[in-house]
């Protein structure tokens, strides 16, 4: 989200899901939409039905490729070069929107300087995409009435994740495909309330509503409302917390509903860090591999057992309603935190989640008009600054959140780890349609478990032949960080030299292999690229 | 229209003829299924046409089966359109619901909905609200039938290629009550990747709809990929009628087709 | 007899599909997509259709656990919370607020995330709060 915040001033999906239906060109890059965001895929299907051009950029032959007018399989981690190449063609042909660039943006000359270096031939060499395809993408995207970019973790989970996002923002601004209906740069958030967790200040550098902790006025405002002295020091991100545990500067970790023991890169490193904590408290609904390491485990309530709100990927705040009482002695997480805080000496006495949301509205300008009462019906998309405001369908109409949109001139950098003689295969990771994240919920759902009971490794049949493995065989996959045993699935979804693993399965845990090298700004690990070697298991 | 339903339901509840009425209710700004049990509280009852007729229909018969399984001795009322009535008859015939424990409260669909559904009978035999609309033939089927078979096959392969294997067509279907579903049988269908095995997944389901589908169209509406499943099953229903002179839900309650199996006539 | 349909929002991906949980006698038994939801318009994916299934899983945590002699042992809420508070306080006093860190969650509600970060910032006094937005 840091990339979009830098370019536009707001790190969120610029347009709404339903608007995709009326786009004339959709560029899907680094999103396996039918598996990970099926109800967004619905809108892409419909756009296609209405005549839109659909461009899918993905090293894997994902399902959406069946609907694509053009599928481009670029080399892993070469997104910046590809987008620069597309912009090069757009500028060379005068397909850009000069009026938009003049009126709404800054930094164009710097961008032009870098993009000029990315001739189609050079871009083709880096990315493995043909000159013709680069030209087609440029023409379709630039010349459509309304073009929309959809991206997901295939863009962000790189050491150059922020650069990748900024590049997409560049492309949208260069062509004026932003700030209008059915356009924009649209990151699909992977988890039901990841948008909300960010909005609520579940980040080390900002209070609720992205108000920076190191701006004195913000701190004073929150000190007053919360009646407490607050730290002006930006806190640690997850990689920083893990490093702190290893170095001894962090002693205690309190984890609510997260499972870093499956979800984080280089699991052996994570386990070592968590084991060194003097106090590890885990609040969750299942005894996850992370909870198994804890000193204290607190049973939370599931979404079906409490009231509240989630904010979806299009910034729509929607109600969660209690269907049943919490299971056993489990308690809603807000009640647990409130009780804990009171015992800690900082009393919290909210009557209900509705009362908490009222306080959120008081301190968070973009949620200023959002209350439980107003969420009946279709919910509200932020920004919704006051009680009369209808919410905001798409962002940046007429003006970017930061004023002028900012171009970033970006050079291509290769991934942190590349293949070599010892580790000759590119490994990329992702999700499957039946499972979700670390599988805590889906693998405990019989219907979903039976649909896909175990993990697998996708490998090209040519490579399988070379290794002497056939479908169903088990291979040992090793990276510089660890090794796992996994069943192989022979498929041309992956090209020769590349393999894919879903990361949901703890017993064939892809994140034992992945590289914790992360983006310097967003701290997102490079899950999408690392180097591995394969051998048939005995 | 809904006032007539309310009056009827109120009487049924007050008289004690039914324990509850399964209908639709607008609550929290959305339309959903709801079991009304209090004659004095029928507030929010709707017939499921929020922006256009029939745009918020639900598989009430399927929910009724779930409720009846837990409360086999109670009598429940249920709102029925023409298609739902065909569904009830078929479910009675296959012993999934007990006709003595179900009181249907009928509504006739407006012409706009009958047109959109291409419904052969857009009203139940008895209804308390609405005016009977004219029946419509299956134009969508005729259009596909007019194509060359290779082209038709290509159309279906392209439609199925969007399937995200949500099983929604089966889950929403009031006629899908099997405890073990062939779609989940590993002997027939592979697990794993998307789209669902093309065309085996959808053809398997289509075959299982033969002699069952009552043409309610909920499968079509629930499909995240907008696959025109209803058209596929309409075609299947036409074939069954042609071959076996039977169309599910149109005969008397409890009747089933007579099949000639292994030289014997099996009459139910 | 209890039979209710409860309108809520799916807990899996970021789409935020509207759905009804069917509740029978205290148990969530089924999921039905909400026809009028602006996000999903009566459709769901395979995860959404089965979102009720994990709720009553026998593997759910049903009581607080505390590590005693190396083993996670069932304890009362009072014991678990008092122990947590005592240790948080001890560690803060010995090493300062920034030796404590919190992971909020992309799974819990907005209200809960708000309280978690408020607890970290206002009660404990650290900005060491993050969640897996990056994953």
* Mean pLDDT over the full length of chain A: 94
Rounded to a whole number of angstroms, the distance from the CA of B218 to the nearest CA of chain A is 17
Question: Who among B166, B191, B193 is closest to A38 (CB)?
Answer: B166
> CA-CA distance, A337 to A339, in Å (whole number)?
5
Task: Tell whether A295 is within 8 A of chain C (Cβ).
Answer: yes
Last residue of a domain, one of A153, A188, A223: A188
pLDDT confidence of residue B260: 53
- Judged against a pLDDT cut of 80, whether residue A305 lies above it is answered with yes
Bridge partners for A317 per DSSP: A311, A380
Contact yes or no for A187/A162 (Cβ under 8 A)? no
Would A398 be classed as within a structural domain? no
Over chain C, what HEC string results? CCEEEEEEECCCCCCCCEEEEEEECCEEEEEEECCCCCCCCCCCCHHHHCCCCCCCCCCECCCCEEEECCEEEECCHHHHHHHHHHHHHHHHHHHCHHHEEEECCCCCCHHHHHHHHHHHHHHHCCCCEECHHHC
Q: What is the pLDDT of residues B106-140, one digit of tens each?
A: 999 999 999 999 999 999 999 999 999 999 999 99
Q: Quick one: which of A242, A79, B24, A268 has its CA closest to C7?
A: B24
The total domain count for chain A is 3
Domain final residue, candidates A328, A361, A381: A381
**Gap between the Cα atoms of A249 and A272, Å rounded:** 15
How does strand B20-27 pair with strand B45-46? antiparallel
Provide the shortest C-alpha distance from residue B77 to chain C (in Å). 14
Whole-number pLDDT of residue B264 = 52
Residue A295 shares a structural domain with residue A326:
yes
Q: What residues pair up with A499 in beta bridges, in sequence order?
A: A427, A459
Q: What is the mean pLDDT of chain B?
A: 92
Neighbouring chains to B with at least 3 Cβ pairs closer than 8 Å: A, C
Q: Are residues A325 and A227 in the same domain?
A: yes
Question: Domain range for residue A472?
Answer: 425-536
Select the residue of C18, C20, C37 nearest B33 (Cβ to Cβ): C20
Neighbours of chain A (3+ CB pairs under 8 A): B, C
In a domain, A409, yes or no: no
Which of A145, A168, A188 terminates a domain? The answer is A188
Res A517 pLDDT > 90: no
Read off the pLDDT band of B259 (50, 70, 90): low
| A136 and A228 co-located in one domain | no
Cβ–Cβ < 8 Å for A525, A451 = no
Same domain as A152, residue A29: yes
For the ranges A84-88, B262-266, C42-46, the lowest mean pLDDT is seen at B262-266
User: Closest-CA residue in chain A for C62?
Assistant: A328
Tell me the chain B residues in contact with residue A432 when contact means C-beta distances shorter than 8 Å.
192
Of C29, C34, C45, the CB nearest to B32: C34
pLDDT single digits (tens) A159-193: 898 999 999 999 999 999 999 999 999 999 888 89
A469/A357 same-domain check: no
Average the pLDDT over A10-26 and give the result: 93
User: Can you give the CATH number for the domain in which A334 is found?
Assistant: 3.40.50.740
Alpha-carbon distances, residue B14 vs A250, B19, B20 (angstroms)? 67, 10, 10
Q: How far apart are CA B47 and CA B29, in angstroms?
A: 15
Q: What is the CATH number of the domain that holds A74?
A: 3.40.228.10
Tell me what pLDDT residue B257 has: 60
A347 & A440 share domain: no
- pLDDT tens per residue, range A405-414: 999 999 999 9
Please tell me whether residues A199 and A173 are part of one structural domain.
Answer: no
Q: Is the pLDDT of residue A424 over 80?
A: yes
Partner-chain contact A451 B191, CB within 8 Å: yes
A99 in the same domain as A12: yes
For residue C30, pLDDT over 80 is answered with yes
CA neighbor of A88 nearest in space, from A59, A63, A113: A113
Sign of CA dihedral C26, C30, C33, C35: negative
Shortest distance between the Cα of A94 and any Cα of chain C, in A, equals 37
The domains located in chain C, with CATH, are 3-49 (2.20.25.90), 65-134 (no CATH)
Question: Residue B268's pLDDT is what?
Answer: 45
Query: CA-CA distance, B202 to B208, in Å (whole number)?
Result: 10
> What pLDDT score does B187 carry?
85
pLDDT at A266: 84
CA A108 to chain C, closest CA, distance in angstroms equals 29
Structural domain includes residue A346: yes
Residue A31 pLDDT > 80: yes
pLDDT of residue C134: 57
**Mean predicted confidence (pLDDT) in A189-209:** 93
Q: How many CB pairs under 8 A join B and C?
A: 80
Q: Could you tell me whether strands A457-459 and B102-106 are parallel, antiparallel, or unpaired per DSSP bridges?
A: unpaired
Beta bridge partners of A187: A151
| Stronger pLDDT, B192 or A7, i.e. the higher one | A7
Sign of the four-CA dihedral C43, C45, C46, C50? negative
Same domain flag for A369 and A247: yes
A292 pLDDT higher than 90? yes
Alpha helices in B71-110 (DSSP H): 82-93
Is A276 an 8 Å CB contact of chain C?
no
What residues of C are in contact with residue A200 (Cβ under 8 Å)? 104, 110, 113-114, 117
pLDDT band per the 50, 70, 90 thresholds, residue A519? confident
Same domain, A74 and A120: yes
Domain-located, residue A39: yes
Q: Which of A4, A310, A352 to mutate to test the interface with C (most CBs of C within 10 A)?
A: A310
- Classify residue A410: in a domain, yes or no: no
Which residues contact residue A212 at a Cβ distance below 8 angstroms, ignoring those fewer than 6 apart?
A205, A206, A218
pLDDT in tens, A361-383: 999 999 999 999 999 999 999 99
Residue-averaged pLDDT of chain C = 95
All structural domains of chain B with their residue ranges: 2-117, 139-259
Q: Give the whole-angstrom CA distance, residue A101 versus residue A112.
A: 12
Residue A436 and residue A330 in one domain? no
Is A34's CB within 8 Å of B191's CB? Answer: no
The answer, yes or no, to whether residue A234 has pLDDT greater than 70, is yes
Instruction: Please indicate, yes or no, if residue A102 is contained in any of the structural domains.
Output: yes
The total of other beta-carbon atoms located within 10 Å of residue A410's CB is 22
Give the per-residue pLDDT at B141: 96
The Cα-based distances of A219 to A152, A168, A332, C126, C131 in angstroms read 33, 33, 29, 13, 21
Question: Does one domain contain both A116 and A206?
Answer: no
pLDDT for position A437 = 83
Overall size of chain C counted in residues: 135
pLDDT of A259 above 90:
no
A237 and C CB contact within 8 Å = yes
Asked if A317 reaches chain C (Cβ–Cβ under 8 Å), the answer is: yes
SS3 A383: coil
Among residues A163, B258, A311, A120, the alpha carbon closest in space to that of C108 is found at: A311
Q: Is the CA virtual torsion B144, B150, B154, B157 positive or negative?
A: positive
For A60-87, what is the mean pLDDT? 96
């Amino acid at each position: 989200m840091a990339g979009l915040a830098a370019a536009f001033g707001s790190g969120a999906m610029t347009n709404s899901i339903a608007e995709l239906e009326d786009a004339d060109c959709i560029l899907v890059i680094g999103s396996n939409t039918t598996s990970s965001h099926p109800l967004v895929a619905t809108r892409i299907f419909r756009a296609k039905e209405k005549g839109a051009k659909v461009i899918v950029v993905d090293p894997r032959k994902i399902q959406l490729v069946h609907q694509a007018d053009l599928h481009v399989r670029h080399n892993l981690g070469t997104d910046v070069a590809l987008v620069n190449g597309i912009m090069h063609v757009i500028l060379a042909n005068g397909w850009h929107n000069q009026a938009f660039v003049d009126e709404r943006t800054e930094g164009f000359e710097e961008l032009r300087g870098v993009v000029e270096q990315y001739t189609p031939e050079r871009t083709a060499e880096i990315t493995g995409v043909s000159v013709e395809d680069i030209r087609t993408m440029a023409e379709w995207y630039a010349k459509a009435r309304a073009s929309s970019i959809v991206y997901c973790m295939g863009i962000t989970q790189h050491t150059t994740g922020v650069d990748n996002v900024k590049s997409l923002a560049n492309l949208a601004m260069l062509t004026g495909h932003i700030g209008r209906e059915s356009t924009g740069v649209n990151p699909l958030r992977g988890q039901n309330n990841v948008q909300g967790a960010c909005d609520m200040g579940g980040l080390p550098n900002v209070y609720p509503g992205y108000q920076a902790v190191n701006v004195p006025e913000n701190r004073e405002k929150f000190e007053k409302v919360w009646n407490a002295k607050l730290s002006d020091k930006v806190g640690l991100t997850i990689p920083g917390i893990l490093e702190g545990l290893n170095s001894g500067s962090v002693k205690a970790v309190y984890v609510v509903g997260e499972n870093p023991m499956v979800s984080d890169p280089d699991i052996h490193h994570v386990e070592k860090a968590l084991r060194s904590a003097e106090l590890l408290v885990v609040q969750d609904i299942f005894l996850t591999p992370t909870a198994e390491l804890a000193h204290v485990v607190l049973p939370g309530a599931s979404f079906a057992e409490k009231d509240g709100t989630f904010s979806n990927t299009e910034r729509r705040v929607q109600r969660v309603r209690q269907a049943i009482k919490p299971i056993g002695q489990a308690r809603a997480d807000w009640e647990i935190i409130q009780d804990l805080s009171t015992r800690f000496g900082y009393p919290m006495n909210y009557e209900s989640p509705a009362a908490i949301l009222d306080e959120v509205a008081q301190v968070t300008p973009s949620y200023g008009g959002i209350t439980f009462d107003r969420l009946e019906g279709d919910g509200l998309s932020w920004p919704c600054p006051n009680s009369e405001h209808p919410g905001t369908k798409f962002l940046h109409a007429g003006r970017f959140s930061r004023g002028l949109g900012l171009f970033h001139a970006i050079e291509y950098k290769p991934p942190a780890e590349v293949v070599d003689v010892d580790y000759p295969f590119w490994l990329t990771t992702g999700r499957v349609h039946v499972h979700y994240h670390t599988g805590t919920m889906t693998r405990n759902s019989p219907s979903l478990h039976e649909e896909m009971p175990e993990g697998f490794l996708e490998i090209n049949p040519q490579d399988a032949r070379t290794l002497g493995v056939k479908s169903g065989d088990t291979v040992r996959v090793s990276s510089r960080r660890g090794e796992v045993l996994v069943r192989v699935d022979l498929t041309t979804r992956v090209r020769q030299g590349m393999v894919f693993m879903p990361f949901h399965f703890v017993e064939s845990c892809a994140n034992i292999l992945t590289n914790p090298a992360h983006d310097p700004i967003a701290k997102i690990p490079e899950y999408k690229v690392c180097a591995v070697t394969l051998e048939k298991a005995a | 229209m809904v006032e007539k339903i309310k009056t009827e339901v109120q009487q049924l509840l007050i008289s004690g003829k039914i324990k509850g009425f399964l209908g639709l209710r607008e609550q929290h700004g959305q339309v959903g299924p709801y079991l009304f049990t209090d004659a004095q509280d029928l507030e929010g009852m709707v017939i499921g046409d929020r922006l256009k007729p029939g745009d918020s229909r639900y598989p009430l018969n399927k929910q009724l089966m779930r409720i009846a399984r837990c409360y086999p001795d109670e009598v429940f009322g249920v709102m029925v359109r023409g298609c739902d009535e065909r569904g009830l008859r078929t479910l009675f015939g296959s012993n999934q619901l007990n006709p003595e424990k179900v009181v249907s409260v009928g509504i006739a669909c407006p012409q706009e909905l009958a047109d959109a559904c291409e419904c052969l009978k857009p009203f139940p035999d008895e209804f308390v609200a609405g005016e009977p609309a004219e029946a419509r033939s299956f134009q969508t089927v005729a259009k596909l039938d007019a194509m060359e078979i290779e082209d038709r096959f290509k159309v279906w392969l392209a439609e199925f290629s969007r399937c995200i294997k949500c099983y929604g067509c089966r889950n929403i279907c009031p006629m899908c009550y099997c405890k073990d579903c062939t779609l989940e049988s590993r002997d027939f269908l592979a697990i794993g990747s998307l789209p669902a095995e093309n065309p085996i997944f959808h053809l398997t389901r289509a075959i299982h709809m033969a002699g069952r589908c009552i043409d309610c169209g909920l499968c079509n509406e629930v499909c995240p990929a907008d696959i025109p499943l209803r058209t596929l099953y309409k075609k299947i229903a036409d074939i069954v009628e042609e071959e076996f002179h039977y169309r599910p839900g149109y005969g008397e309650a409890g009747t089933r087709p007579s099949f000639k199996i292994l030289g014997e006539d099996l009459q139910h | 007899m209890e039979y209710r349909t409860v309108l809520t929002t799916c807990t899996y991906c970021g789409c935020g599909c509207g759905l009804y949980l069917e509740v029978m006698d205290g148990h969530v038994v089924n999921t039905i997509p909400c026809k009028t939801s602006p996000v999903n318009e009566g459709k769901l994916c395979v995860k959404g259709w089965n979102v009720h299934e994990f709720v009553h899983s026998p593997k759910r945590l049903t009581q607080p656990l505390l590590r005693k002699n190396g083993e996670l042992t069932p304890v009362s809420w009072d014991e678990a919370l008092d122990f947590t508070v005592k240790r948080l306080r001890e560690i803060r006093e010995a090493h300062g607020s920034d030796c404590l860190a919190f992971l909020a969650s992309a799974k819990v509600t907005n209200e809960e995330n708000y309280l978690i970060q408020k607890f970290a910032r206002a009660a404990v006094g650290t900005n060491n709060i993050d969640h897996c937005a990056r994953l």
